[in-house]
Amino acid sequence: MKHLKSFLYLLSFTLLFSCKKDDDKIDFTFLQINDVYEIAPIQGGEFGGLARVATVHQELLKENKNTMLFLAGDFLNPSLLGTIKVDGERVRGKQMVEVLNEMDVDLVAFGNHEFDISQKDLQKRLNESNFPWISANVKLKTKNKSIPFYKEKEGKQIPLKETFVKEFTDEDGTKIKVGFISVCIPSNPVDYVEYGNMFVKARASYAAIKDSVDVVFGLTHVKLTNDKRIAKLIPDLPLIMGGHEHTNSYDKIGNVIISKADANAKTAYIHRISFDKKTKKTIVTSELKEINTTIKSDEKVDLVVKKWQNILKSEIKVVVENPEKIIYATKIPLDGRDTQVRSEQTNLGTIITKSMSFAFDDKVDCAIVNGGSIRIDDELLGNINAVDIFRVLPYGGAIFKVEIKGRLLKRVLDYGILAAGTGAYLQRFNAEKVGEKWMIKNKELNINKIYTVAFSDYLLQGFDIPFLSSENKEVLSIYKPKNNELAFDIRKAVVEYLKGNQ
């Protein structure tokens, strides 16, 4: 009996000191990307690539099992892959969902570009996704009312939530609940989406969740100025992981950190977080990690990426023989961001329109394309290949040579200026406004003269500029190029122009 007591004492003593005591402190890690439209590396393979991000994710999980991967909105559109057809149906972000599923993404926020695609296509992507989505201020409009977006599984509708909760436990037994709130910028109004007030909904969703969790974080897709306002409204958020801007930033408003990574996973933010349950103090240590060639691709994710890239290459080779060959290098970013190409002349817009003129041996008076045709919503920098040009102009289309009366040309150019902020804003070459006058090839536009203009075929369909079509009597002739001519595909024209201007 004496020996048994001694054994039990030793056993209890051993167990007491072999188990760590709950210290009410816990560490966890967030990996943040945002505004990702390309699954494969960009800029000649130098940067980005979701298979590389997956490797970083796996390494962080080995470091700390309490690691989450986030995407702060904008991934279903725009992308070159999204515009092609597979089995007779446009891809429309299907490739992104497949890759994100393989990456085991923990949480995504709605971005405004998610609503570029139709309600039918968005519903398909929601149904296909294995990861949760959140947003407090976007709802699906139905005939009778607005309801939460949902996933449809086995005939049942599973509503998406406004908030998200994750529970963490560490090795010594410390447990916490972490909450997340999200809002989306209402910059893409479509008839099937109802946008609630960002600030009202952010504050309301925070109030609804804060008492049931230990700490709340933001996962947003709004302008930086909006994030800063949210930080002032909700000063107890330790961190807002944001999207929408495409350039990395790291700001602090009071005690609230606001982080945004570079678009297309050129960088990712790693946030290592320590939380003290007793003091409720949160310490965030952030690292901006460049996603580049030094990071190996995760094999499982890379298989999915390569499947889709092979589909893409086969489509591009119909137009360009060697789509991955470097055709141009630039140290100055070529600006194809949505806001810029739809409101001001950009250097990328100039290259495109110069290429349109080049396609006709510069035997035109000017060249014009609608800003909405430029779909990359990003900047090109460094080595550029044909794939990048297809990303810029995914819909392609021919360049038409049009004889047009000066009076109509002036109306078209004036309309483009008035349409600033929309896709009907015009990127131009050899058509400049000086004061109140339009200059064509440095000479004042003559409304009685007949001009020869290179137009994108889309513009001649009257979608963006209602009075510009073959039906207008002041459109005197339209030359439509044959399939063996450079002007048959605007993308090929840009590729050949850049090759000659290296």
pLDDT 10s digits, 179-235? 999 999 998 789 999 999 999 999 999 999 999 999 999 999 999 999 999 999 999
Domain extents in the chain: 22-290, 321-499
């509503």: which residue's tokens? 159
What are 218's two structure tokens? 């933001």
Residue 370 pLDDT more than 70?
A: yes
CB 158 within 8 A of CB 130: no
User: 321-499 falls under which CATH superfamily?
Assistant: 5'-Nucleotidase, C-terminal domain (3.90.780.10)
Domain 22-290 has CATH 3.60.21.10: yes
Give the confidence band of 8 by pLDDT, cuts at 50, 70, 90: low
Residue 1 pLDDT = 52
Mean pLDDT of the region 389-395: 90
Residue 10 pLDDT more than 60?
A: no
Residue 467 pLDDT more than 50?
A: yes
Residue 16 pLDDT more than 50?
A: no
User: Rounded to two decimals, what is the model's pTM?
Assistant: 0.82
Residue 350 pLDDT = 98
CA 119 to CA 334: how far, in whole Å? 32
Among 75-89, 123-137, 322-336, 338-352, the minimum mean pLDDT is found in 75-89
Residue 18 pLDDT = 47
CA 391 to CA 373: how far, in whole Å? 11
363: CB partners within 8 A, 6+ apart = 452
Mean pLDDT of the region 132-152: 96
């390494």: which residue's tokens? 59
CA 84 to CA 104: how far, in whole Å? 26
Residue 363 pLDDT more than 70?
A: yes
What are 386's two structure tokens? 């044909």
Residue 17 pLDDT = 45
